[in-house]
Amino acid sequence: MKQGLGTINRESQFKWIVYMLILGMMLLAPLFLSDFRLMLLAKYVSFAIVAIGLALIWGYTGILSLGHGVFFGLGAYGMAMYLKLEASGGKLPDFMVWSGQNELPWFWMPFSSFFLTLLLIVIVPMGIAYGLGFLTFRNRIQGVQFTILTQALVLIVVTLLIGQQAFTGGSNGITGFKTILGYSLSDPTVKRVLYWITIGVLALLFALAYWMTKSRFKRVLLAIRDGENRLRFIGYNPAVFKAFIFAVSAGFAGIAGALFVLHVGIISPSMMGIVPSIEMVLWVAIGGRNSLSGAVLGALLINYAKTTFSEAYPSLWLFLLGGLFVISVILLPRGFMGLMKDGMQKIKKRRKREDANENNIDFTFGESKR
């Protein structure tokens, strides 16, 4: 008993030190990177936020969503609408003029306020996710069927966005932003501040997700994953929990989308289609879906690889990336973090064996002797 507690503390202490080191490094990154590389890093970080949300529902609850591009896109469009209105300076956004639209559609109105925009970025994806989640989970639709539903959602939303060109910019998406709250988006200082905000949001949401996975709530989630019927017989209503965690994860994606737009300066339906949605799941799969840090690592690594490959081999990079996916999925069914954990387990086991051999009873201090 004593020994167990001792190792857990030491291990988690070690873990937190590593997290803090990584966080520190990321905060200092602007000192070493050019503006362009910093923009890329910020983009990866916003993808990492989506990955945390996906790990929450997939790794911890067993809900596989292939529709997170939609929630990412909804957040991104929210921020883009705010930025576009600010860039248009009270006039009608340019693409509406080309498309023959004469006045601002009603659903654009709230986005003239920054505060409302921030709220809607989280609330809209969460609301839609909760609605979809509750209706399907209440009818005990789960597993593959739910996954297919999320794909259908992607198709619907993307078709709608492309079709309603006068309201949404169509397949062009929304671009041409200038300022945020009056500060120029092209100013390097503003870019750095936005980068730090992004890192801050990542840390905050990571901590939130971490807390959720350490609380009693986690037990319910795991129970849903491993034995939903039993949980129902005990008296819980899994539908509410599932819809809730699905909505939280969608909220994460929405926030990530908004940050993405701030750094990249464009959002279009191509960023939220079926392929990007599946890509998001791949980051988590490769990083390790049973671990939040694995998801973050996966998103950062895969996107870094994507950029590096495409810059080095413009006509071959898709094959390299595809090869990487195939290899990882075949050889690492639980992702990089799964392997790391196996490694740790092994070390622990060996230690235990050695300890037993030494006949050392005082396990807690025995650890520090080595």
Partner 1 sequence: MEFMEKWQEKRKKVWFHTVCFLFITMLLLAGCAEEGESQEADEEDGSQEDVIEVGILHSLSGTMAISEVSVKDAELMAINEINEAGGVLGKQIVPIIEDGASDWPTFSEKSRKLLEQDKVATVFGGWTSASRKAMLPVFEELNGLLWYPVQYEGLEASPNIFYTGATTNQQIVPSVAWLLENRGKKFFLLGSNYVFPITANNIIKAQLDSEGGELVGEEYTELGHTEYSTVIAKIKESKPDVIYNTLNGDSNVAFFKQLKDAGISADDITVLSVSVAEEEIRGIGAEYLEGHLVAWNYFQTTDTPENKEFVDHYKEAYGEDRVTADPIEAGYNAVHLWAKAVEKAGTTDVDKVREAAKGITFAAPEGTVTIDGDNQHLYKKVRIGEVTAEGQLNEIFSTEEAVKPDPYLSSYTWAEALTSP
Q: Of 292, 253, 22, 79, which Cα lies nearest the Cα of 150?
A: 253
Tell the smallest beta-carbon distance from residue 177 to partner 1 (Å): 7
Distance CA 117, CA 100 (A): 26
Tell the smallest beta-carbon distance from residue 134 to partner 1 (Å): 31
Distance CA 337, CA 15 (A): 13
Q: Of the two residues 18 and 327, which places its CB atom closer to partner 1 in the complex?
A: 327
Q: Of the two residues 311 and 361, which places its CB atom closer to partner 1 in the complex?
A: 311
Distance CA 269, CA 276 (A): 10
Q: Of the two residues 293 and 328, which places its CB atom closer to partner 1 in the complex?
A: 328
Q: Of the two residues 7 and 270, which places its CB atom closer to partner 1 in the complex?
A: 270
Tell the smallest beta-carbon distance from residue 141 to partner 1 (Å): 28
Tell the smallest beta-carbon distance from residue 74 to partner 1 (Å): 16
Q: Of 77, 71, 56, 221, which Cα lies nearest the Cα of 131?
A: 71
Dihedral sign of CA atoms 226, 228, 230, 232 in order: positive
The answer for residues whose C-beta is within 8 angstroms of residue 299's C-beta and 6 or more apart is: 44, 47, 48, 50, 51, 280, 283, 284, 287
Tell the smallest beta-carbon distance from residue 243 to partner 1 (Å): 31
Strands 179-180 and 266-267: unpaired
Tell the smallest beta-carbon distance from residue 271 to partner 1 (Å): 6
Q: Of the two residues 346 and 348, which places its CB atom closer to partner 1 in the complex?
A: 346
Q: Of 330, 340, 51, which Cα lies nearest the Cα of 209?
A: 51
The residues that touch partner 1, with contacts defined as CB under 8 A, are 34-37, 39-40, 43, 91-92, 95-100, 102, 159, 162-163, 165, 170-173, 175-177, 186, 264-268, 270-271, 301, 304-305, 308-315, 317-318, 320, 324, 327-328, 331-332, 339, 342-343, 346
Convert 188-223 to b/e letters by CB count within 10 Å (16 or more is b): eebbbebbeebbebbbebbeebeebbeeeeeebbeb
Written as one string, the DSSP assignment of 138-159 is: HTT--THHHHHHHHHHHHHHHH
Q: Of the two residues 208 and 320, which places its CB atom closer to partner 1 in the complex?
A: 320
Tell the smallest beta-carbon distance from residue 370 to partner 1 (Å): 21
Tell me 362's DSSP state: -
Q: Of the two residues 9 and 186, which places its CB atom closer to partner 1 in the complex?
A: 186
Q: Of the two residues 3 and 172, which places its CB atom closer to partner 1 in the complex?
A: 172
Tell the smallest beta-carbon distance from residue 89 to partner 1 (Å): 13
Dihedral sign of CA atoms 292, 298, 299, 304 in order: positive
Tell the smallest beta-carbon distance from residue 93 to partner 1 (Å): 10
Q: Of the two residues 20 and 344, which places its CB atom closer to partner 1 in the complex?
A: 344
Distance CA 315, CA 350 (A): 48
The phi, psi pair for 60, rounded to 5°, reads: -95, -25
Structural tokens at position 54: 């996906």
